[in-house]
Each structure stands twice: as C-alpha cells, then as structure tokens.
Amino acid sequence: FAERERGITIDIALWKFETARYYVTIIDAPGHRDFIKNMITGTSQADCAVLIVAAGTGEFEAGISKNGQTREHALLAFTLGVKQLIVGVNKMDSTEPPFCEPRFEEIKKEVSSYIKKIGYNPLAVAFVPISGWHRDNMLEPSSKMPWFKGWQVERKEGKAEGKCLIEALDAILPPARPTDKALRLPLQDVYKIGGIGTVPV
C-alpha cells in the first residue's frame, strides 16, 4: 500500500516468467535513495542487472547527475559482482517529441561513458529504447520507433543481437556456478518470530 501511495518501489519484489531460453526471476529493486539497503539485497543475488533509465526531460539528467541514482545503482551492481548489464531506456513515449531517436542516442552515449568508467564494457551492453507503459520494444518490435534497427553486443563468447528487451534477456550468458566449492546460501532477510525463534529467508 505504501508503495502505491508514494509511487515508488520500497521493498524488493520477485517476478518469474519463462523466455525461449531461460526461466527468469526479475528482482525488482527500489530506485529511491531511501531504500538503497533493499536494492543491495536484491542486486547481490542477480546474474545480470537491468538498469532502467528514464528518458523524460529532466528525469534522465537527475539520475545521471553526480549524486544521481542511475550512477549509484550501476556502480553498486558492478561492485556487487553483477558483471552483465542491460540498459532499458524507458519512457520513450514522454520524450520531446515522443519516441525521439536523438534523445535515445544522447542517453546511450552518456550512460556508455559512465559505465565504462566503473568497469563495464559498453560494447557488451544491450541498449533498448522502451516504453514499459505502452509495451514498446518489450516483447515485440515497436512500430513507433522505426529508426531503431536493434541492439548488438560483442563479447569474447560471441556476438548477439535483437530488437526487444526480452531478446536482450535471452542473450544473457549464464554465469559458471562454483559447484565444486562449499555450499553458500544467499540470505534476503531474518525474521524474529515469537514462540518459533529466528527464521532466515
């Protein structure tokens, strides 16, 4: 209820679905500065980070500014060991004019420059212009952005390309799991329940 009332994500939420290649669990982490601890909890469990950047006038600039959340989240993801990244340039419907190619290219250039500084290779990152609200380039190519010829990534494991966000998710490389090492379980939370005791989740 608090999330809906304030229009922001407070706690992490899990969403599961299946693609052509993978079973995907999306860990929706809060973007708001007050809930950075919750964001770290979610990000530390991820194989790939999907950085959602708002394309609206002023919104992108606020996020990429010196103390902006776009910078902080990208840096935290890399620091926490999430070495694969997808960038969704969202709210393309609210650019001036709507679905503006120069705006997408401007954002791509600036985000590429920043993520390179923190350790990501921009050539290995899919940049997808999307409108989550209107489903543009989410599951199917959008007719509103005919200028977008698709994303391409180049990695030592090979190249990948596509047009939609779902295809970028399918292009994630599954990280090697250290199955020969001692068991480790990621903890998300600890609850103290009267009469039962401490319950880790």
64 Cβ partners below 8 Å, 6+ apart? 53, 70, 71, 110, 111, 114
CB 168 within 8 A of CB 162: yes
**Both tokens of residue 82?**
């999430």
- Find out whether 53 and 132 touch, Cβ atoms under 8 Å: no
Look up residue 1 and give its two tokens. Answer: 């209820």
CB-CB contact of 169 with 22 (8 Å):
yes
CATH code of residue 178:
3.40.50.300
Q: What is the pLDDT of residues 168-201, one digit of tens each?
A: 999 999 888 788 999 877 777 788 888 888 888 7
pLDDT, tens digit, 9 for 90 and up, residues 125-164: 999 999 999 999 999 999 999 999 999 999 999 999 999 9
**pLDDT value at position 30?**
58
Q: What is the pTM of this model?
A: 0.81
Q: Which domain holds residue 33?
A: 2-200
Structural domain tally of the chain?
1
Residue 10 — very low, low, confident or very high, per pLDDT cuts 50/70/90?
very low
SS3 100: coil
